């Protein structure tokens, strides 16, 4: 879904209008929730994405995740340094953390996570859960075989020819 | 990558051994970072996943995300209520939030996010960033066209025949 060849330079406002429009269009087409995202650099679009959770049976298919995956596929890189994300609603913690992993430079958003909560989405709840101690969260978390797991991780340090990310 | 047909009932410990083994095996095969995940219900495996960030040029291809996507594909559902995630290292905020969206019941993890940080991964840093006010984060965040974005979101409430998630 990356938009190649379109080298038109757009303003932040024009890119946000596009993200808002995408969200509406794809929601009305039955793709999923009302969320749309654009990734651009210097005002030039490299990829777009929209929520496809219900249409693709993928709870991770939020607009931003889809857009990051599309941008990385277009660039053949897992590193989006210098790129910017335009999205009609503040990213949930999944998508915000994905933006960090992708090394995005800037996030421009419209509505916020409380607005998402107001129309029935769990964004605010999940932000809240992540601040709680593990034993207070609604998902049960349990640690097991710590030393064996740590020993496994330490192999990474000795691995030669690894690609860092 | 879902494992069908294997109806063997495994203990938590056996499932964790498998996740640790998967992490090591796929890391040594050059797939990506040293992380492996299993999704099971009542001790029966439905899917597995491993880190493929560098091999698939996808910064969202963490073991848990890949595993959730595989489980949902196997079940043809975006809802993993009743399923459990076994992973050799505590999920990062992206993967933990994905577990909430997928409605996973329980997360059993080995090493924790500080252990991941100790071998060079950004997990602890991202957990910290998410607790900061937006203007203090290392990714610049900027709100734009709030009212237009809110108006778009509100269309969701009036949409008929929508699939909730």
CB–CB of A144 and B112 under 8 A? no
Whole-number Å distance between alpha carbons of A88 and A18: 9
Number of other residues whose CB lies within 10 A of the CB of residue A38: 26
Mutation pick from A65, A97, A156 vs chain B, by most beta carbons of B within 10 Å, is A97
User: Do the Cβ atoms of B2 and B47 come closer than 8 Å?
Assistant: yes
The distance of Cα A87 from the centroid of its chain, to the nearest Å, equals 10
Q: Which of A117, A146, A57, A121 minimizes the C-alpha distance to B20?
A: A146
> Is the pLDDT at A5 greater than 80, yes or no?
no
> Does B132 lie at the interface with A, CB-CB under 8 angstroms?
no
Chain A to chain B Cβ contacts (< 8 Å):
288
Mean pLDDT of B103-129: 96
CB–CB of B116 and A153 under 8 A? yes
More reliable by pLDDT, B5 or A34: A34
Mutation pick from B66, B80, B149 vs chain A, by most beta carbons of A within 10 Å, is B149
CB–CB of B101 and A28 under 8 A? no
Q: Largest alpha-carbon pair distance within chain A?
A: 54
Angle, CA of A100, A101 and A102, to the nearest 5°: 90
Number of other residues whose CB lies within 10 A of the CB of residue A105: 14
Q: Beta strand pairing status for B36-41 and B84-89?
A: antiparallel
| Complex-level ipTM beyond the 0.85 threshold | yes
Among A13, A65, A145, the residue with its CB nearest the CB of B13 is A145
Among B60, B88, B155, the residue with its CB nearest the CB of A68 is B60
Summarised one tens digit per residue, pLDDT across range A91-143 is 999 999 999 999 999 999 999 999 999 999 999 999 999 999 999 999 999 99
Summarised one tens digit per residue, pLDDT across range B51-80 is 999 999 999 999 999 999 999 999 999 999
> Does B28 lie at the interface with A, CB-CB under 8 angstroms?
yes
Q: Tell me the torsion sign for CA atoms B137, B133, A106, A118.
A: positive
Summarised one tens digit per residue, pLDDT across range A43-92 is 999 999 999 999 999 999 999 999 999 999 999 999 999 999 999 999 99
Whole-number Å distance between alpha carbons of B63 and B42: 21
Q: Write down how long chain A is.
A: 165
% of chain B at pLDDT higher than 70: 96
Confirm whether A64 is a catalytic residue: yes
Whole-number Å distance between alpha carbons of B60 and B51: 9
Instruction: Give residue B97's pLDDT.
Output: 98
Q: Beta strand pairing status for A106-111 and B106-111?
A: unpaired
Whole-number Å distance between alpha carbons of B126 and B139: 11
CB–CB of B94 and A92 under 8 A? no
**Exposure b/e, B104-134, CB count within 10 A at least 16 = b:** bebbbbbbbbebbbebebbbbebbebbeeee
Instruction: Give residue A4's pLDDT.
Output: 52
Six-digit token pair at A152?
Answer: 């496994």
The shortest C-alpha distance from B7 to chain A (Å) reads 23
């Amino acid at each position: 879904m990356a938009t190649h060849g379109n080298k038109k330079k757009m303003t932040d406002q024009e890119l946000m209008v596009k993200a808002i429009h995408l969200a509406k269009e794809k929601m009305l087409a039955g793709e999923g929730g009302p969320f749309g995202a654009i990734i651009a650099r210097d005002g030039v679009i490299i990829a777009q994405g929209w929520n496809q959770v219900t249409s693709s049976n993928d709870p991770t298919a939020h607009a931003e995740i889809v857009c990051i995956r599309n941008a990385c596929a277009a660039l053949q890189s897992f590193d989006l340094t210098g790129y910017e994300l335009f999205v009609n609603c503040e990213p949930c913690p999944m998508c915000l953390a994905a933006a960090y992993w992708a090394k995005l430079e800037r996030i421009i958003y419209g509505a916020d996570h409380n607005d998402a909560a107001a129309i029935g989405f769990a964004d605010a709840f999940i932000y809240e859960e992540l601040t709680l101690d593990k034993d207070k969260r609604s998902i049960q978390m349990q640690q097991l075989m710590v030393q064996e797991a740590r020993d496994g991780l330490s192999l990474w340090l000795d691995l030669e020819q690894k690609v860092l990310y």
